[in-house]
Chains A and B, each alone.
Chain A
Amino acid sequence: MDILQIFVNGIVLGALYACIAVGFSLVWGVLNVINMLHGSFIILGGYLTFFAWFYLGLNPILVLPAVALLLYILGFALQYLFINKVVTAPVLTTLTLTFGLDMILYNLMTVYFTATPRRVTLDLGSIDLAGIVMPVDRLLGMGLALLLTGVLYLVMRGSTIGRAIVAVRMDRQAAALMGIRVNRIYAITFGIGALMAGAAGAVFAMVFPVTTNLTGVFLGKAFVICVIGGLGSVPGALVGGLALGVIESFAGFYLGPQHAITVGFLLMLILLVVRPTGLVGVKGYE
């Protein structure tokens, strides 16, 4: 296979990865909470999209905003009811709590949805551009993923809510003194994290089969991308996602697909030790 083709495959995959990780990165960066629910949120988004498409015959792209909104509500509620109560506790507490919540959500999904791999098939064919073959649904997925990530970036930069989130991230106490309701911002941030995960899941289900067994895989990828790209910033997730996509694509081709994930994790471990702030990360988060 052509090196250029492998690279392009990596970029397409990387855009999806960026979309997967950006919500996780946001929650981690702002709340200082590792959200172990993230993988399940992605799968939930994917499944809901599939069901809406398969049983109700709806257009998956039009379903996407509805799924994202549902996930936002779920995320907001979880943060408001549970995580806000321990948000300043040590890592062990918050991480264990989100893991416990994830086990409940995961269990609910496996019982009610079963673990059958499901995929929205769009049948859009593929295009051939100067020898580089690319299925159209993947390109569409990449476009949607980049669009979503871009919209989040603009929201964080331009909107009042976005500015408030950034303010809370920078200094929680000062933000509170300026009249920002920190707990509400936390819940909104967590909701946005879930929203991005749900949307990413919806996009993913249009390109690859999703199953509940993938929750851990997606969570692992989000970890790796955050460490590669750095925490709490949209560009960081984008750089990390694209980097991981390209690395996995090459590692998969040259070493075999089963090693692609190992390489990502090894790279993360090395980066953790050598440069914990990531490639474009900001200092100050632990």
Chain B
Amino acid sequence: MPRRALALTGLAAWIGLLAATPWVADNYTVRVAITIAMFSAMALSWNLIGGFTGYPSFSTAAFFGIGCYVGALAQRNGVPLVLAWTLATFGVALFAAALGTIILRLKGHYFAIGSIAVVEVVRLIVSSWGSVTGGGDGLNVPLLQGSPDWVAAKVLYVMLAIMLAAFAATVLVDRGRLGFGLRCINQNEDAADMVGVDTTRFKIAAYALSALFCGTVGAVYASWVGYIDPTDSFSILLTVKVPVMALLGGAGTVFGPVVGAGVFVLLEEFFWANFLEWNRAILGGIIVFLIFFLPGGILRLDYRRLLRRALELREAKQKSPEAAE
């Protein structure tokens, strides 16, 4: 298993690099590291339902947003920080399990729309329920104690821990019965059902798991930024970004979401810094490029073939090796 060992070493190095940022780099870099850890956790989570099972789930923003609000509201009512985060985690997982029993009966496009509609409905409910959620004005979340640098480092380590937990969950699912069942569902749900895979239970488990960490991430995010509102917490962009990250790395693989989230956030930061006005168009461009040129994601690229072609091209002296990709 040298390839797997190599990949694990790479992951460890990557996490080490992210974890080192508070000691060696400026605040901006730490913020980017937090964003990477946060989106890695969410992309890994989404991968459990979207990658393993192939269900086009677009409800990530609902889970994230509910996590934000549960965490924030609990803290505002005097619940200690860590307990509030835990509450958000399991609250969201329960919500997803309950929701899953209803919308996982849908397939294909209908499931996709159902999961988008969930985001909209939750957002609208949160916006209209002003007496509890503050409505469109949003909520202030109790600030984390300590100096800004210390808070950033703390948030980073918590996010990295969530990312690691999501990764561990992915590995366990991947190797266990659940992962096998989910892949069967992806291949052919009816056949899986016939040979004795309890498809309903498997799907609900995957859906709840895919929500679990998003809830934690949401609650920690709320504590980090100190202010949440419905538009920000239930953003349709977030809903699309997360699956795109998983697809970019390679949906259905264990390492793909981590690679995808890292590449995506770095690309986005680069473009955000240089072409602020065109942020959305560039994201769209990345998506179009992804669908046409990287349909299996970065990890599924056949690098040996690419290298061979690059060498051939160099021999032909027509193009440089970089342009071949």
Contact surface of A with B, Cβ cutoff 8 Å: 28, 32, 34, 82, 85-86, 90-93, 95-97, 99-104, 106-108, 110-111, 216, 220, 223, 227, 258-259, 261-262, 265-266, 268-269, 272-273, 276, 285-286
Do most interface residues of chain A lie in helix, strand or loop, or is the interface mixed?
helix
User: Please, which residues of chain A bring their CB within 8 A of the CB of B236?
Assistant: 216
Q: Given A103-B280, A104-B281 in contact, is the A91-B287 Cβ separation under 8 Å?
A: no
Q: How far, in angstroms, from A268 to B127 measured CA to CA in the complex? A: 19
Total interface residues in chain B, CB < 8 Å: 43
Question: Is B176 among interface residues, defined by CB-CB distance under 8 A?
Answer: no
Residue contact B244 to A262, C-beta cutoff 8 Å: no
Q: 15 A-B Cβ contacts within 8 A? A: A28-B109, A32-B109, A85-B292, A97-B288, A97-B291, A99-B284, A102-B284, A103-B284, A104-B280, A107-B278, A107-B279, A223-B116, A272-B114, A273-B114, A286-B110
Question: Is B158 among interface residues, defined by CB-CB distance under 8 A?
Answer: no
Question: Is B243 among interface residues, defined by CB-CB distance under 8 A?
Answer: yes
User: Please, which residues of chain A bring their CB within 8 A of the CB of B285?
Assistant: 100, 104
Give the shortest distance, in Å, between B287 (CB) and chain A (any CB).
3
Q: Which residue of B lies closest to A93 (CB)?
A: B291
Bits for B44-82, please: 1 = Cβ < 8 Å to A, else 0. 000000100010100000000000000000000000000
Q: Which residue of B lies closest to A95 (CB)?
A: B112
Point out the residue from B109, B125, B244, B284 that lies within 8 Å of A91, measured CB to CB: B109
Residue contact A276 to B128, C-beta cutoff 8 Å: no
Q: How far, in angstroms, from A268 to B118 measured CA to CA in the complex? A: 10
Bits for B243-284, please: 1 = Cβ < 8 Å to A, else 0. 110010000000000000000000000000000011111011
Residue contact A273 to B102, C-beta cutoff 8 Å: yes
Give the shortest distance, in Å, between B55 (CB) and chain A (any CB).
9
Q: Which residue of B lies closest to A28 (CB)?
A: B109
Give the shortest distance, in Å, between A95 (CB) and chain B (any CB).
6
Point out the residue from A96, A107, A269, A276 that lies within 8 Å of B287, measured CB to CB: A96
Q: How far, in angstroms, from A273 to B285 measured CA to CA in the complex? A: 34
Residue contact A286 to B240, C-beta cutoff 8 Å: no
Residue contact A108 to B281, C-beta cutoff 8 Å: yes
